[in-house]
Amino acid sequence: MSEISIPLIQKLDSKKELKFIQLIFVDINGIPKGMEIPMTRYEEAVKEGIAFDGSSISGFQEIEDSDLIFKADPSTFAEVPWERVARVYGYIYKDKEPYWADSRAILKNLLDELGERGITAYIGPEPEFYFFKRNGSWELHLPDVGGYFDIINLDKARDIKREIALYMPYFGLIPEVLHHEVGRAQHEIDFRFDNALKTADNIISFKYIVKAVGEMHGLYATFMPKPVYGMPGNGMHLHISLWEGDKNLFMGEKGISKTAMYFIGGILEHARALTALTNPTVNSYKRLVPDYEAPVYISWGYGNRSALIRIPASWGKGARIEYRCPDPSANPYLAFTAILKAGIDGIENEIEPSAYVEENVYEMSEKAREELGIGTLPENLKEALRELKKDKLLKRALGKAYRNFASYKEKEWADYIKYVDENGIPRDTKKVTEWELERYFYF
């Protein structure tokens, strides 16, 4: 191990030597998968890789051609303090070449291209989640009745959130703000922004920590976009900026720069196709409805929280944009790839953003929205996949993985339609079905 940089091992309690390490990657849905090996094989995992069968991983190889190799990325090594094991992310190879369906590698390739131009993309996420109690059925019980920013008596999970925050640094996350969200038993813990690859890793780690700590306290944590009909959904707003060295390219002399405006223009141009990746589940579109602060209309503004893209008040070095439609069910590696590719397209082609609005878009008449050129996001997953199929830029960004993603999601939609038809449920229902709970609750 002496030839490998493993900084965290030096910080561990020498009295409790780690015996095993988890090798973690994600499937096409962004769901963590992996295997454990003895720590004695860690150097092998870094240098040569560990073989595994990818035929049963969602969106990976067919059974007749499924031999894959996982190579650990030692920069992601972390201790799981409550289990006394370690875990590490990495990259997947096939026949000694990077595997084309490896989501993490797809994002890294794009970031390497930007890096060659001296550009670093930074992203800060705001993933929301619920804590529930279950009684053996899908009748979910709320452990608290708090609302937005409630504390003490109404926020029964405040100690659990503190415990989560204390564990986060073990995984390289820096907690910043802990608070109760709008929904009863809904919460948010914001953590420090980082480069896009590290942030994608951090989202996977954060969800793992929240679920594990919740389970320790007899609670189920879910990042499902809309777990309960009639209550606020779980979003994952993204704060995005591009930097060149120590210069924020989104910072203008008065407000944000022209570069930032073009970046917004690119996202708006590809907004309908992007939703297939930022909101990739059937359940995602039951969150994207009016009246719950989830954007439905393709627009942008400054203080406007009904817009798809908002420019926060913090300018100067903190200049950034806030993209408000993504939800935590997204595969962050694929979603970030598509978002950055769309934004860069806006910069390269100088796409001016249209549909500027500071009014509450939900309260505007249809005629007023039409006059401002405000379009709408897809109403369901099928419509989003249709838009992605037409978007050549985003399909190129995903490469051969597009085929796997699209075919998997098309089957997902077909399975849902079969379920609702067999149970006499309207296809356009916005109520949350048991099929969705069984499929997405543990995302």
Which positions are annotated as active-site residues? Answer: 53, 126, 128, 181, 188, 237, 305, 322, 324
- Determine the Cα angle at 341 with ends 277 and 288, to 5°: 30
| Integer Cα distance of 19 and 16 in angstroms | 9
Phi, psi (5° rounding) for residue 191?
-130, 160
Contact 107, 336 (CB under 8 A): yes
Amino acid at 107: L
| Integer Cα distance of 394 and 368 in angstroms | 30
| Integer Cα distance of 31 and 331 in angstroms | 7
For residue 281, what is the DSSP state? S
| Integer Cα distance of 146 and 22 in angstroms | 36
| Integer Cα distance of 343 and 123 in angstroms | 13
User: Does the CA dihedral 229-183-212-70 come out positive or negative?
Assistant: positive
| Integer Cα distance of 164 and 157 in angstroms | 11
| Integer Cα distance of 329 and 350 in angstroms | 31
CA distances from 150 to 145, 178, 185 (A): 9, 11, 11
CA distances from 270 to 345, 366, 377 (A): 9, 22, 10
Contact 221, 286 (CB under 8 A): no
| Integer Cα distance of 26 and 90 in angstroms | 10
Nearest Cα residue to 214 out of 242, 185, 246:
185
Contact 186, 232 (CB under 8 A): yes
CB count within 10 Å of CB 116 equals 8
Give per-residue burial for 303-339: e unless 16+ CB within 10 Å, then b.
ebebbbbbbeeebeeebbbbbbbbbbbbbbbbbbbbb
